[in-house]
Amino acid sequence: MNVAHWTSEEFLDEVRAWVAGRLAEHGLQPTGEWEQPHAREWSSAIRFETTGGRVWFKVNGRATAFEPRLVRLLADLSPGLVPDQLATDVERAWSLSRDGGPQMRAVHPPDALWKPWEQLVSRYAGVQRDLAAHTPALLDSGTPHLGPTRLVAELRGLRERLRALPAGEGGISAADAAALEEVEPVFAGWCDDLAASPVAESVQHDDLHSANVCWPGEDASAARIIDWGDASVAHPFGTMLATLNSIAFHAGVYRDDETFDDPRVDRVRDAYLEPFTDLADRSDLLRWVELARRTGCVSRALSYEAALADAPAVAVEMEHPVREWLLALLEPWALAPVT
């Protein structure tokens, strides 16, 4: 339903008028060139060329309607983390921002991105530490709260909702439901360990990969992180699930068993952990990263469940990612001992 509306002439006319008005407030004008590169059930973006350079309009669906508020807050609390924000319409979940530059993956091939990734995740981790002091404001923006103490209940809820669905609609079998119930005490132990750690909850992007990073300069200081619609307030280390998986995949070291063993990936992980080394020793930090990657499967499942709630056909096309992420908890990599 969202896609049909967001690609309609009526909607596009309304957007063009709104964008022109907001640009005028900044002394800018559209040049008439615009393009809608994608429209998905959870969001759509439209690129406009202006007298002051390229800008982006974005509309969020119901599940990600918090994103404009969160990004505006991030722009205020951590200047330079996200592209410059020009306007926000909170009621309609609309936003307008300056172009942040080319995507990271378009600037360099994967083999040339190891050092940039090390720089970026270290900077991002430092921002997470700083933003931990602003957790109330992050939650007030509507960003979902998925801290470790909440994840056991979320796991149960997902299990029961998917057990009630037919397999063709993304449901799980009785055997899978029983297996998830059996692993729940182990999962709860992971959550307890993370909750007891001295690493404070903060914003967690949850989809930080090279297509969601703009890289306009020579190093990470100029990088801008985009697409915060999967974000939550959570244990910050959960970031490493999507990030390390994506890096390993694009570098060709992600194996069929969903694991990777490559010193270059490890160096990215270690660069991320560096800003936290005053809180605990290396062995604890490494354990918490591994536990946060595992518990992060529930966060990823919840993000997809919310985004696809009104789009069952899209869920089928995507091979039911909610089920896929939930059942990842039963994979050997997730159940291997953590030292």
pLDDT for res 256: 85
pLDDT in tens, 64-103: 999 999 999 999 999 999 999 999 999 999 999 999 999 9
pLDDT in tens, 132-168: 999 999 999 999 999 999 999 999 999 999 999 999 9
C-beta neighbour count of 97 within 10 angstroms: 23
Q: Match domain 2-98 to its CATH number in 3.30.200.20, 3.90.1820.10, 3.10.20.30, 2.40.50.100.
A: 3.30.200.20
pLDDT for res 186: 98
Taking the mean position of all CA atoms in its chain, how far away is CA 204? 7
Which residue, chain included where needed, has tokens 């083999």?
111
Where do the domains of the chain lie?
2-98, 104-335
What is the homologous superfamily of the domain 104-335 according to CATH? Aminoglycoside phosphotransferase (APH), C-terminal lobe (3.90.1200.10)
| C-alpha span between 265 and 248 (Å, rounded) | 7
Instruction: Provide the angle, in degrees to the nearest 10, between the axes of the packed helices 148-163 and 282-307.
Output: 40
| C-alpha span between 208 and 121 (Å, rounded) | 9
Which DSSP string corresponds to 7-67? Answer: TSHHHHHHHHHHHHHHHHTTT--EEEEEEEEEE-SSEEEEEEEETTEEEEEEEE-GGGTTH
Among the listed residues 306, 251, 252, 260, the one whose alpha carbon sits nearest the alpha carbon of residue 117:
251
* Amino acid at residue number 58: K
Report pTM. 0.96
Binning pLDDT at 50, 70 and 90, where does residue 258 land? confident
| C-alpha span between 48 and 103 (Å, rounded) | 17
